């Protein structure tokens, strides 16, 4: 997806999501993967005195009144949906979440972001802020894997993709397809020396995670210049070999499609990475 402006409504965003869904149906897709916080601008870039100052950006139910049409249309098409959004639970918890439903409209699972980056307090010296740690809680639910779409699937969100444990936790459950939405600014205030490497690091970690676990990885950006902040695009579909088989070439709303044969995963899981035969968990004590 391209940027979502601060003045764009949830309904505006859903209209754009529906346009991409229509294209996916024309291309006979089985599953469409939308990015992190696909219904709003990246609101943690602004500080509010009250913790609830951004609560109008959160979803209190999913689907909700304005998103129901997206799920209904996907069900008519027989297409599964992965959607990233800000979640406000009934008991007041705020999570950076993603929902997955299958082609029949049944909920497969909800994932809540584990690795929350950024900072908690107002830091006005920055050109823009990254207050994810103020507005979202770290999930303690880990990295589950679900049986859907003819295989084993999992989810992660943005910063999760940088951590090898994310992929390994799902890989050890036999995951065959991992969906990851992200919003990644090209400027990193704590260490601007990393700025030129953003696109390299983005693909590096996802390609490594795919190869080392014999799984497909679907990385989907909300890119372009959003409220003055330039963000990384380069959404990619990555094979179990670690190769990029499809990549976005614009910074706007764009559909990329690939035929993800889940049987390809076995070529790596059962040979080079025959975990049952070659893993040495007794040697990995520091991380277990």
Which residue out of 59, 87, 113, 222 is catalytically annotated?
113
138 has pLDDT over 80 = yes
Our answer to whether residue 205 is catalytic in this structure is no
pLDDT at 172: 95
pLDDT at 17: 98
0.85 exceeded by the pTM? Answer: yes
The Cα–Cα gap between 88 and 61 comes to 8
pLDDT tier, 94 (very low <50, low <70, confident <90, very high otherwise): very high
pLDDT at 288: 74
Mean model confidence pLDDT for the chain: 97
Core vs surface per residue 209-220: b (16+ CB within 10 A) or e: bbbbbbbbbbbb
pLDDT tier, 203 (very low <50, low <70, confident <90, very high otherwise): very high
pLDDT at 268: 96
Core vs surface per residue 80-114: b (16+ CB within 10 A) or e: bbbbbbbbbeeeeebbbbbbbbbbebeebebbbbb
- Find the mean pLDDT for residues 246-268: 98
Which residue out of 158, 205, 260, 265 is catalytically annotated?
158
Query: What one-character-per-residue DSSP string does 74-112 give?
Result: HHHHT-EEEEEEEEE-TTS-EEEEEEEE-TTS-EEEEEE
- Find the mean pLDDT for residues 53-65: 97
- Find the mean pLDDT for residues 252-276: 96
pLDDT at 287: 86
pLDDT at 234: 97
Give the model confidence (pLDDT) of 159-189 as tens digits.
Answer: 999 999 999 999 999 999 999 999 999 999 9
Our answer to whether residue 36 is catalytic in this structure is yes
């Amino acid at each position: 997806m391209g940027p979502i402006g601060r003045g764009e409504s949830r309904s505006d965003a859903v209209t754009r999501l529906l346009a991409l869904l229509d294209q996916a149906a024309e291309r006979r897709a089985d599953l469409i993967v939308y990015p992190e916080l696909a219904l709003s601008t990246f609101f943690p870039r602004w500080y509010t005195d009250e913790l609830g100052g951004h609560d109008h950006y959160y979803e209190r139910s999913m689907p909700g009144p304005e998103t129901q049409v997206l799920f209904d249309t996907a069900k008519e098409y027989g297409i599964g949906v992965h959607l990233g959004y800000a979640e406000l639970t009934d008991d007041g918890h705020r999570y950076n979440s993603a929902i997955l439903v299958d082609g029949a409209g049944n909920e497969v699972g909800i994932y809540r972001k584990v690795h929350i980056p950024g900072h908690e307090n107002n830091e006005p010296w920055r050109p823009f802020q990254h207050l994810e740690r103020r507005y979202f809680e770290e999930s303690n639910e880990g990295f589950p894997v679900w049986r859907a779409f003819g295989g084993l699937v999992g989810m992660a969100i943005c910063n999760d993709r940088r951590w090898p444990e994310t992929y390994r936790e799902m890989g050890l459950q036999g995951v065959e397809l991992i969906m990851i939405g992200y919003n990644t600014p090209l400027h990193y205030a704590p260490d601007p020396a990393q700025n030129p490497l953003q696109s390299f690091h983005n693909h590096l970690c996802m390609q490594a995670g795919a190869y080392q676990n014999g799984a497909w990885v679907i990385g989907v950006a909300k890119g372009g210049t959003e409220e003055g902040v330039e963000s990384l695009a380069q959404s990619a579909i990555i094979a179990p070999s670690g190769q990029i088989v499809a990549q976005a070439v614009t910074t706007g709303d764009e559909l990329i499609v690939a035929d993800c044969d889940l049987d390809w995963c076995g070529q790596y899981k059962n040979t080079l990475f025959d975990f049952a035969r070659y893993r040495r968990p007794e040697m990995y004590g520091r991380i277990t």
